Structure 1
Amino acid sequence: MTPSPIRWLFALCAASLALASAGTASAQRTAGTLDPSIAVARSVEILCAPRAIWLAPELPTTVAGSQEGRAKRMFGPGEAVILDAGRNRGLAVGAEFFIRRQYRSRVESVVPRGEMPAVLHTAGWLRIVAVEEEMAIATIAHSCGDVLIGDYIEPFEAVDPPAGSPLAEADYASAARVLFTEEGGYTAGPRRFVVIDHGREDGVVPGLRFTLFREILAAPGLVNNLGEAFAVLVDDRTATVRIFGTADAVYAGDRLAAHR
């Protein structure tokens, strides 16, 4: 009997497990770390941080299952998964990809209706270990959370941990706003990540320092400084920042004054 493509691929996958295990360590090293005294976050933390997305990808390659079929819907580090594309979409053995999903933020009131981007969640990253024309097998090299059937892949790009910029005059007049916190939520605390509504177009660069503050509604013009934040991921219209030194929770809608 001629073995099915799936059985053949999983046979190759099983033969590659030792290499895949070594690949996991390699992926971790690719992410890298820097001395936390000069970097505001480790690379692996930045790679797992939330960000905003405005448009869904067209015809993405997705996690379609495993050798256990669709009965298993959740995966973790070291596990093998089936992708619903192969050489037909340029996949090759050894290539690394982010594993991502997107969903609506639970916060809607901080921006006008229809102007809230979706949350881009990185579930981890994987490495291709076997490829056919229209399917591939990959092993999960690192997980930031559960990997689910339906998650899609995008090319992996390493990041360098930015050093925080020095103290300077805080620009309260052109303050950014917290759009949502991790998982698209309302609140965050120290050393957590939030997404803001300023990005590259507003002069934000990795490492830029912000003063976090909250406007006092009963006293227009007065603010309550909450702590600091530093940009770690910067897109055109939004950025992901990490919170430091807050004595209070940070909420969606709180403001950030850049130090320039």
Structure 2
Amino acid sequence: MGMLCGMAALSLVLGHADARGDAPPPAKKPRLVRAPAAAQPAPAASPEAGLLRGPATVPAHWSRNHCPDSIPEGAAYYIVVKGDTLWDIARRFLGNPYLWPQIWDKNRCITDAHWIYPGDALIIPEVNVVAPGPGGAGAGTEETPAGGGPTGARGPSTPGQILFPSIEETALQCASYVVDGREDESLRLVGSEQGATKVAFGDRDILYLNKGSNAGVKAGDVYTLHHETYAVKHPDSGKAIGLKIEVTGWVRVILVQENTATVMVEQACADIHLGDYLKPFERVQVPLVVEHSRPTRLTPPSGKVVGTVVDMQDDASIAGDRQIVTLNLGTANGIAPGSLFVLYKVMYPSVPTPRIVLGEAVAVAVRDRTTTVRILNSNDAIMNGDKAELQ
């Protein structure tokens, strides 16, 4: 479980965990780190620094990772040696150890970030840091015309800035979301080792699926668990926005038969019930945010795209610091992971009165028409119907 969801999971070389002793353990809470001294372009090949440039053939070596045996032309890569971790490799070549997920994302042949092996060839990506900055124009909503202003999106960091993870990885992996239509619910939980004596399940419980090898299920596969909760509507207009889906956890397949499979719960995000449906596990990417001044009641409007808070995690009626809410904006409006929003309230919509700034939030997951945001700070309670303006 911990190997899949640790905030700063470290990749350990076979037979030598944390060899140099200077890589800290996986972070449980966000920690501040200094950004690189300058924006990092695609790394140049440097044999002295251990960074090489393709094309190349990877020498034969033993590894549990089934990575390609050749490097494409122009790709910067590094050959793992004993004692390496993704944390240290990110610090060495990307200038920031918290960027290790970007190396993992570029090397999907690594099945578990805790384990890399001497001889593995890792493609080293460009730095991709989330920071306030200009981007593409928003497409607009019924509340803000198209072309309402550029988005705050991805951009390079500058000297002296401080980066921090916008959310804990487990919290993001467990976050509920809103979809336009129904998802594929054909693979489901249909039974348990406890039979009818238990109706809600959690970590390490044994459950059974309604399909097996006949549907492509394999031992070792990991799936997230989901169930529909209710239809989400716009708080003001009542217009349908989508279906809220709760993530109840994830499981690993431990035994497969032709028409069924046995799974063990690796992480429970909420009570798991028979009937929950499964989707292949997709590891989330946690955006990094540049530390900046928090908005105040005097913060002027940005003039950019404006949306509405339409739903809250755990069906809450109010939200505050570190809680998760959903906005009716998405990629169609130019929103990207890491986009920052000022949350505010208009007390008298029918008359021209100043807005009341409630706090600030960051986009942590974006879909076509909705965005999951985490509240970074708040001055007052935030409720459905409050507004969110892109910064």
TM-score, with length taken from structure 2: 0.56
The one-letter amino acid paired with 1:41 is I
Counterpart in 1 of 2:31? 36
Cα shift readout 1:80-135 (whole Å, capped 9, x = no counterpart): 11111111221100011111111115x64515445131111111111000011111
The one-letter amino acid paired with 1:196 is L
* 1:111–1:54 distance in 2 versus 1, CA, 3 Å: farther
Which structure: larger Rg? 2
Pairing 1:192–2:323 present: yes
Q: Which moved more, 1:238-247 or 1:113-122?
A: 113-122
Alignment of 1:136-215 (within 5 A): 136-164=261-289, 171-172=302-303, 174-215=305-346
Counterpart in 2 of 1:62? 188
Question: Alpha-carbon deviation of 1:240?
Answer: 0.2
Counterpart in 2 of 1:131? 256
Counterpart in 1 of 2:366? 234
Contact 1:65/1:72 (<8 A) preserved? no
**CA distance in 2: counterparts of 1:45 and 1:58, whole angstroms:** 24
Cα shift readout 1:178-235 (whole Å, capped 9, x = no counterpart): 1100134432121000010001111111111111111121642520001100000111
Size of the aligned set, in residue pairs, is: 235
Secondary structure of the structure 2 residue equivalent to 1:141 = strand
Q: Give the alignment partner of residue 91 of structure 1, picking from 205, 217, 240.
A: 217
* 1:142–1:170 distance in 2 versus 1, CA, 3 Å: farther
**CA distance in 2: counterparts of 1:201 and 1:109, whole angstroms:** 17
Secondary structure of the structure 2 residue equivalent to 1:201 = helix
Q: Which moved more, 1:166-175 or 1:90-99?
A: 166-175
* 1:127–1:158 distance in 2 versus 1, CA, 3 Å: same
Moved over 6 A (4+): none
Counterpart in 2 of 1:251? 383
Q: Which moved more, 1:118-127 or 1:57-66?
A: 57-66
Q: Give the alignment partner of residue 49 of structure 1, picking from 139, 156, 175.
A: 175
Q: Which moved more, 1:189-198 or 1:212-221?
A: 212-221
**CA distance in 2: counterparts of 1:115 and 1:94, whole angstroms:** 39
Cα shift readout 1:119-162 (whole Å, capped 9, x = no counterpart): 11111111000011111100011111111111111011112210
The structure with the largest strand share of the pair is 1
* 1:72–1:117 distance in 2 versus 1, CA, 3 Å: same
* 1:100–1:202 distance in 2 versus 1, CA, 3 Å: same
* 1:50–1:170 distance in 2 versus 1, CA, 3 Å: farther
* 1:258–1:216 distance in 2 versus 1, CA, 3 Å: same
The structure with the largest helix share of the pair is 1
**CA distance in 2: counterparts of 1:257 and 1:90, whole angstroms:** 44
The one-letter amino acid paired with 2:289 is G
The one-letter amino acid paired with 1:197 is N
For structure 2, the residue ranges without an aligned partner over 5 or more in a row are 10-25, 33-163, 294-299
Q: Give the alignment partner of residue 76 of structure 1, picking from 169, 187, 202.
A: 202
Cα shift readout 1:226-251 (whole Å, capped 9, x = no counterpart): 11000001111111000122121110
Contact 1:104/1:184 (<8 A) preserved? no
The one-letter amino acid paired with 1:36 is R
Contact 1:64/1:83 (<8 A) preserved? yes
* 1:197–1:31 distance in 2 versus 1, CA, 3 Å: farther
Question: Alpha-carbon deviation of 1:176?
Answer: 1.1
Secondary structure of the structure 1 residue equivalent to 2:217 = coil
